[in-house]
Structure 1
Amino acid sequence: MTSSQLYLRLLNYIKPYWRIFALSILGMVVAAATEPLLPVLLKTMLDGTFVHKDETIIRLIPLFILAIFLVRGLATFVATYTITWVGSKVVMDLRDKMFSKLLSLPARFYDDHTTGNLISKLTFDVTQVTAAATTVVTIGIRDSLMIAGLLGWLFYLNWKLTLLSLIMAPVIIFIMKTISGRLRVTSRNSQRAMGDITQVIEESVTAHKVVKLFGGQQYESQRFSSQANWVRRHTMKQATAAAANIPIVQMVAAVALAAIVYLATEQSRSDETTVGGFLSFITAMLMLTPPLKRLASVSEHLQRGLAASESVFELLDTPSEIDTGKKLITHASGRLKFEHVNFSYQKDEKLALRDINLEIPAGQTVALVGASGGGKSTLANLVPRFYSPNNGHITLDSYDLAELTLASLRANIALVSQDVVLFNDTVAANIAYGQMRKVPETEIIAAAQAAHAMEFISEMPQGLQTLVGERGVRMSGGQRQRIAIARAILKNAPVLILDEATSALDSESERHVQAALETLMQGRTTLIIAHRLSTIEKADRIVVLQKGEIVEIGTHQELLAKGDVYAQLHRSQFMWNDITRDNPG
Structure 2
Amino acid sequence: ANGKFLFMNQLPRMLIETIIVCGLLLLIITKLMLGNQPEEIVPLLGVLALAAFRLMPSANRIVNLSNGIRFQMPLFNELYEDLLIIKNKGAKETETCLQKPESRMDFENVVSVEELSFAYPEIEKQVLNNISFSIPKGKFVGIVGPSGAGKTTFVDILLGLLAPSKGKISVDGKNIYDDIRTWQANLAYVPQSIYLIDGTIRENIALGVDEKEINDALINKVLQMAELYDFVQELPAGIDTTVGERGVKLSGGQRQRIGIARALYYQPQVLVLDEATSALDNETEKSITDTILKLKGQITIIAVAHRLTTLAQCDFKVKFENGKAFIIK
TM-score (norm 2): 0.68
Cα 1:313–1:399 shift into 2, 3 Å: farther
Partner of residue 75, structure 2:
311
Residue pair 1:362, 1:525 contacting (<8 A) in 2 also: yes
Counterpart of 2:78 in structure 1: which amino acid?
A: E
* Corresponding residue for residue 132 of structure 2: 357
Match of 1:213 in 2: none
Whole-angstrom CA distance in 1 between matches of 2:120 and 2:244: 34
Q: CA deviation at 1:307?
A: 4.5
Tell me the equivalent position of 1:372. Answer: 147
**Identity %, equivalent residues:** 33
Task: Name the counterpart of 1:530.
Answer: 305
Return the match for 1:450 from 211, 225, 239.
225
| Alignment RMSD | 3.5
Deviation, 1:520, is 3.4
Q: Structure 2: which amino acid aligns with 1:345?
A: Y
Residue of structure 2 equivalent to 1:543: 318
Q: Any conservation in 2 of the 1:425–1:469 contact (CA below 8 Å)? A: yes
C-alpha distance 466-349 of structure 1, shift in aligned 2 (>3 A): farther
Secondary structure (helix, strand or coil) at the match of 1:542 reads: strand
Structure with the higher strand share, 1 or 2: 2
- Normalised to the residue count of structure 1, the TM-score between the two structures is 0.40
Gaps of 5+ in 2: 3-46, 86-100
Residues 522 and 310 (structure 1), Cα distance of their counterparts in 2 relative to 1, 3 Å cut: same
Aligned to 1:260: none
Structure-2 residue corresponding to 1:578:
none
- C-alpha distance in 2, partners of 1:380/1:352? 13
Matches within 5 A, 1:86-485: 304-305=68-69, 307-317=71-81, 329-330=103-104, 332-333=106-107, 335-406=110-181, 408-435=182-209, 438-485=213-260
- SS at the partner of 1:415? strand
1:333 Cα deviation after fit: 1.6
**Higher-Rg member (1/2):** 1
| Structure 1 letter corresponding to 2:195 | V
Relative to its length, the structure with more helix (as a share) is 1
Counterpart residue identity of residue 315, structure 1: L
* CA displacement 1:522-566 (0-9 Å, x = unmatched): 32222121222233233222212212211x324x3xxxxxxxxxx
Q: Distance in 2 between matches of 1:359 and 1:391?
A: 17
From the superposition, tell whether residues 301 and 169 of structure 1 become closer, same or farther in structure 2 (CA, over 3 Å): farther
Which residue of the partner structure matches residue 493 of structure 1?
A: 268
Displacement after TM superposition at 1:426 (Å): 1.6
The whole-number CA distance in structure 2 between the counterparts of 1:436 and 1:493 is 19
Aligned 8 A contact 1:344 1:350 in 2: yes
The alpha-carbon deviation at position 362 of structure 1 amounts to 2.1
Q: Tell me the SS of whatever aligns to 2:294.
A: helix
Following superposition, the deviation at residue 300 of structure 1 comes to 6.8
- Alignment length (residue pairs): 265
Q: Which runs of 4+ in 1 moved over 3 A?
A: 167-172, 293-310, 316-320, 519-522
The answer to which of 304-313 and 468-477 deviates more is 304-313
Which whole-Å CA distance do the structure 2 matches of 1:298 and 1:553 have between them?
A: 64
User: Displacement, 1:331?
Assistant: 5.1
CA distance in 2, matches of 1:399, 1:453: 37
Distance (Å, rounded) in 1 between the aligned partners of 2:298 and 2:107? 10
Going from structure 1 to structure 2, the CA distance change for 1:363 and 1:304 (only over 3 Å counts) comes to: same
Q: CA deviation at 1:301?
A: 5.4
Kept after mapping to 1: 8 A contact 2:285/2:310 = no
Match of 1:15 in 2: none
Contact conserved, 1:332 with 1:494, CA < 8 A, in 2? no
Deviation at 1:414, TM superposition (A): 0.5
Shift of the alpha carbon at 1:339? 1.3
Distance 1:295 1:431, change over 3 A: same
Q: Map of 1:76-95 to 2, 5 A cutoff? A: none
- Distance (whole Å) between structure 2 residues aligned to residue 500 and residue 300 of structure 1: 45
Aligned to 2:126, the other structure's residue is in SS state coil
Shift of 1:487: 0.9
